[in-house]
Amino acid sequence: MTAAAPDVAMAKPLLAALAGERRRASPVWLMRQAGRYLPEYRAIRASAASFLDFCYTPTLAMEATLQPIRRFGFDAAILFSDILVIPDALGQRVSFEEGEGPRLKPIETAADLAGLAEAPDWSRLAPVFETAERVRAALTSDVALIGFCGAPWTVASYMIAGRGTPDQAPARLFAYRQPELFARLIDILVEASAAYLERQLRAGAEAVQIFDSWAGVLPPAEFERWSLAPIARIVAKLRAALPDAPIIAFPRGAATELGKFAAIDGLSGIGLDTAVEPRAAAAALPARLALQGNLDPLALLAGGRALDDGIDRTLAGFAGRAHIFNLGHGILPETPIAHVERLVARLRKTG
Ligand code: CP3
């Protein structure tokens, strides 16, 4: 930490938690907090020709970033973009079909891989950095801006399958059958992701999160090679460039391998998924890490007792640790807004 960092952390509860500070009230933000459960998001989303056009239009992306902050007063904004802008900027064009999720031309052969650029076309991503700059200028002094990228394994799994799948079998098969080729793709993504996060931080992001949403489908040996090691390389690169930048990793489904993840040198926080028991994680994971999570998104959707009990158990389980309240995965589009309001009110009351 530089001399100036503690002051910044004091003012922003999220940064305080990532610096290891425990407070009475856990700061809160929610994964996928901008998006379709908000009527004001659906209204502006309709004005863009495509989802990526939306992401690449700073006025719209800035508005989408700020909507959940205005409505709920979260402690952090997350830059509105998507993990798949990296393949898009590497030349594998991405589209989002209404109600069906992402579509890419699958990478199947060495020739497909050779068709990718060595590095992202930064001019294509320039609007993302412009959005970060504008959002940062618009935020009040207590709200932090989080940048993000997908982990190489998760991004590669979409690049290989060309779409979402239940278990990422296409990428797992590709990695078994053509490990050298797969390693080449992962290397490209490590370089691109580290540079992308660095640029987001220089543009105004104050912390970054690496989403490894599909870490949990890999057996331990593959997990180490394709999920853990590439993320450790990104963290090391970012640390070398920006020694103070807080970095959160979210290895969804890491399960028994969570401890290895938590041992990555240079991480500031770790995002825990719904299956992790808070008290056990609080006891087992290194004290230098802020713990983030991990209310079941379905408990938030359900509301009532399930929500209140879930919140209370989460807070009790992480008591004694620097904690950032979040869900165990992204908020679901069907989530009632009143439940999110209730969540924030209960957190602030308990604090
Ligand atoms: O609010 C925020 O969290 C910031 C923006 C954000 C989006 N996607 C916007 C989005 C973030 C952080 C993401 C991350 C993301 N994108 C992940 C990792 C987190 C996770 O949920 O596991 C993944 C795997 C993706 C890839 C992706 N993007 C998929 C599979 C889909 C389609 C299904 C879905 O979840 O909506 C998207 C589209 C997407 N990304 C939307 C939004 C708001 C919906 C598109 C629309 O509005 O038409």
Domain extents in the chain: 6-350
Q: What is the pLDDT of residue 11?
A: 83
- Whether 45 is catalytic is yes
Residue tagged active-site, from 37, 41, 56, 82: 82
Q: Is the pLDDT of residue 351 over 80?
A: no
Cβ of 148 less than 6 Å from ligand 1 = yes
Q: Which residues touch 52 (CB under 8 Å, ≥6 apart)?
A: 82, 85, 88, 94, 95, 96
> Which of residues 99 and 330 earns the better pLDDT score?
330
Beta bridge partners of 209: 148, 248
- Whether 136 is catalytic is no
Angle at which helices 179-203 and 152-161 pack, to 10 degrees?
A: 120
Q: What is the pLDDT of residue 350?
A: 61
Residue tagged active-site, from 36, 124, 184, 342: 36
Cβ of 31 less than 6 Å from ligand 1 = yes
- The values of phi and psi at residue 329, to 5°, are -160, -175
Cβ of 33 less than 6 Å from ligand 1 = yes
The alpha carbon of 78 and the centre of ligand 1 are apart by a number of angstroms equal to 12
Pick from 28, 30, 32, 70 the residue to mutate for probing ligand 1's pocket: most ligand atoms within 8 Å of its CB: 32
Cβ of 66 less than 6 Å from ligand 1 = no
pTM for the predicted model, two decimal places: 0.96
The whole-chain average pLDDT of the chain stands at 95
- The values of phi and psi at residue 78, to 5°, are -115, 130
- Whether 296 is catalytic is no
- Nearest alpha-carbon partner for 220 in 166, 249, 258, 190: 258
- The values of phi and psi at residue 144, to 5°, are -95, 155
- Nearest alpha-carbon partner for 150 in 209, 206, 232: 209
3-state secondary structure 245-300: CCEEEEECCCHHHHHHHHCCCCCCEEECCCCCCHHHHHHHCCCCCEEEEEECHHHH
Q: What is the average per-residue pLDDT within 205-226?
A: 97
Task: Give domain 6-350's CATH number out of 3.40.1010.20, 3.40.50.10490, 3.10.20.30, 3.20.20.210.
Answer: 3.20.20.210
Q: What is the average per-residue pLDDT within 86-110?
A: 94
- Whether 36 is catalytic is yes
Count of CA atoms in the C-beta half-sphere (13 A) of 254: 29
Cβ of 101 less than 6 Å from ligand 1 = yes
Percent of the chain whose predicted confidence (pLDDT) is above 70 = 97
Cβ of 336 less than 6 Å from ligand 1 = no
Mind listing the pLDDT tens digit for each residue in 270-305? Answer: 999 999 999 999 999 999 999 999 999 999 999 999
- Whether 82 is catalytic is yes
Q: Does the CA dihedral 114-213-40-81 come out positive or negative?
A: negative
Coil, strand or helix at 138: helix
**Ligand 1 atom nearest residue 31's Cα:** 3
Number of Cβ atoms within 10 Å of the Cβ of 121: 12
**Ligand 1 atom nearest residue 84's Cα:** 26
Mind listing the pLDDT tens digit for each residue in 5-46? Answer: 555 546 899 999 999 999 889 999 999 999 999 999 999 999
Dist. CA 54–CA 320, nearest whole Å? 41
Dist. CA 219–CA 231, nearest whole Å? 17
